[in-house]
Structure 1
Amino acid sequence: MILYPAIDLKDGQCVRLLRGEMDRATVFGDNPAAQARAFAEAGCSWLHLVDLNGAFAGHPVNAAAVESILAAVDVPAQLGGGIRDMATIEGWLSKGLARVILGTVAVENPGLVRQAARAFPGRVAVGIDARKGRVATRGWAEETDVMATDLARAFEDAGVAAIIYTDIDRDGAMAGPNVAATEALARAVTIPVIASGGVSSLADLIALRDTGVIAGAISGRALYDGALDLGAALTALSA
């Protein structure tokens, strides 16, 4: 199972939100490139980046910070937030991103996801963010009646590289991931599923790994707070 250290970007800074609320942001650093280098030096094999402002604005906002990260490290990175048209997808992938994450458009314009996945095999993921099983869009500000499992199944034949599943109520709360819901989703589809939200300890990572069906896990706050040591976690997961 791959561990993805998260760098969430708001106003050019590294932050973490509590349950997706922009007015409940904790700033952990003002140098995203330096943070990316620290994660890379600890041995991570991927980075998970989020343009939080972009998720609300509907277009990239923290482009300069993302580009500084891409220039600073050779580790592949995936990015979500405000990516809602083919031009933006093409632009980011041409700048060196390994993978884009499409969230809101997966609900509002699923045809774009399919088109992008065909055009860029292996480089398009779907972000599914849910509260109590129902998908939320536009920076988690709008809730829908779409069930997370139904949305995931809709892309089974689309060729997407992964599904990033976030339990919003767990995100940034240091309360542990929703292992049961994530495992259920992973068993419902053949697309690799990456867990996000609430990963706060080595025990959480082991619980996700031991399901045998979850392909990856994203952690942010726990790494910044020191509750999870990245090097030790990577060593444990590789054992």
Structure 2
Amino acid sequence: MNLFPAIDVIEGCAVRLIKGDYAQKTIYSTNPVEVAKGFHKAGATYLHVVDLEGAKSGDTPNLETIRKIVAESGLLVEVGGGIRSEEVIKRYLDAGVFRVILGTAAVSDPVFLQEMIDKYGDKIAVGVDVKDGFVAIKGWTELSQESCFDFCQKVQNMGVKTIICTDISKDGLLAGTNLELYKELSEKFSVDIVASGGVTTIDDVKTLAEMNLYGAILGKALYTGNIDLAEAVALTKEA
């Protein structure tokens, strides 16, 4: 299983939110590039970056920070947060990002999603953010009418290769992850599934790795010291 340490960016700083609530924000570093370098030093290969301002605006306000992370960290960087146009996709890919994540746009504009999959292939992943069984959109501020499993089936049929699934109710709480959800997703679908939200302990990492998931995102637990990244990387290499 691949580990994706996470950096959420607001105004060039590495932050974490609780359940996606911008009012519940903790700034962990004013230098995300150094944070990313630390992840690389601990043995990470990948990095998951979310532009939280972009998630609201649909633009790329932290593009220069992300460009610097790509250039200096030594990590393969995937980016999500308000990617709703081909122009923004191109901007990130031109900056050296290896994969972009479509969330709201994947739900609200399936024609656009299909066009981008056809054009960019596995450089397009879909973020499925789940609340009460339904897919949330617009920075988790609205619920769509799409159920999690129906939507995953639809995007798999469209040719998406990677789904990043976040249980919003678990995100940022350090109270454990939704193991049942990821088990069901891994059994139902053939795409690469990345678990996100509430991965709190090294045991969570071990259990997810035993499910043969493609990946797991580690967020707040890294910043609080609940999970040692080097230990988690070693564990997933053994699994």
CA deviation after TM superposition for structure 1 residue 165, in Å: 0.1
Listed as ranges, the gaps of 5+ residues in structure 1 are none
- 1: distance between equivalents of 2:144 and 2:160? 22
Task: Decide which structure has greater helix share.
Answer: 2
Name the counterpart of 1:220. 219
Quick check: 2:174–2:199 contact (8 Å CA) kept in 1? yes
Quick check: 1:80–1:102 contact (8 Å CA) kept in 2? yes
What are the superposed Cα offsets for residues 171-202 of structure 1, whole Å, 9 maximum, x if unpaired? 00001110101221222221111000000111
Quick check: 1:118–1:158 contact (8 Å CA) kept in 2? no
Q: What's the secondary structure of 1:50's corresponding residue?
A: strand
CA RMSD of aligned residues (A): 1.0
Listed as ranges, the gaps of 5+ residues in structure 2 are none
Q: What's the secondary structure of 1:59's corresponding residue?
A: coil
Q: What's the secondary structure of 1:121's corresponding residue?
A: helix
Structure 1 segments, 4+ long, off by >6 Å, are none
Name the counterpart of 1:201. 201
CA deviation after TM superposition for structure 1 residue 120, in Å: 1.3
- 2: distance between equivalents of 1:189 and 1:114? 18
CA deviation after TM superposition for structure 1 residue 145, in Å: 2.0
Name the counterpart of 2:154. 154
Name the counterpart of 2:90. 90
- 1: distance between equivalents of 2:214 and 2:133? 20
Name the counterpart of 2:178. 178
- 1:76 and 2:76 matched: yes
Please say which of residues 178-187 and 13-22 is displaced more in the overlay.
Answer: 178-187
- 1: distance between equivalents of 2:46 and 2:139? 23
- 2: distance between equivalents of 1:158 and 1:40? 33
Q: What's the secondary structure of 2:121's corresponding residue?
A: coil
What TM-score do you get using the length of structure 1 for normalisation?
A: 0.97
- 2: distance between equivalents of 1:56 and 1:69? 21
What are the superposed Cα offsets for residues 116-160 of structure 1, whole Å, 9 maximum, x if unpaired? 112112211000001121111010011122111111111123332
Name the counterpart of 1:38. 38
- 2: distance between equivalents of 1:91 and 1:61? 12
1:1-239 aligned at under 5 Å gives the runs 1-212=1-212, 214-239=213-238
- 2: distance between equivalents of 1:234 and 1:126? 24
What TM-score do you get using the length of structure 2 for normalisation?
A: 0.97
Q: Which amino acid in the other structure matches residue 222 of structure 2?
A: L
- 2: distance between equivalents of 1:211 and 1:39? 24
